[in-house]
Amino acid sequence: MSQTKMEQFREMFAERLGVKNVDESKSLRDLGLDSLDVVEMCLDLEDRFGVAFETEELSSFKTVHDLFAAVEAKLNA
């Protein structure tokens, strides 16, 4: 059974944080991610999944849910 791109992203995100499950209500900052970490992750996503983020979008990601929703929208576009 092949994983969807979103499932792959969720696994990649959890692995990067060193956890099994990620609480989407948590703020990225509470998880120890700073703005550079978010930019690096988005660059990885662009390379791996062929999506593109605008610079302005990156600063709008405050919670895990914000980031996941933006990625899902890009992958389903």
Active site residues: 34
Element holding 40 (H helix, E strand): helix 35-49
At 58, list the tokens.
């990156």
> How many other CB atoms are found less than 10 A from the CB of residue 42?
21
Residue 44's Cβ-side half-sphere holds a number of Cα atoms within 13 Å equal to 12
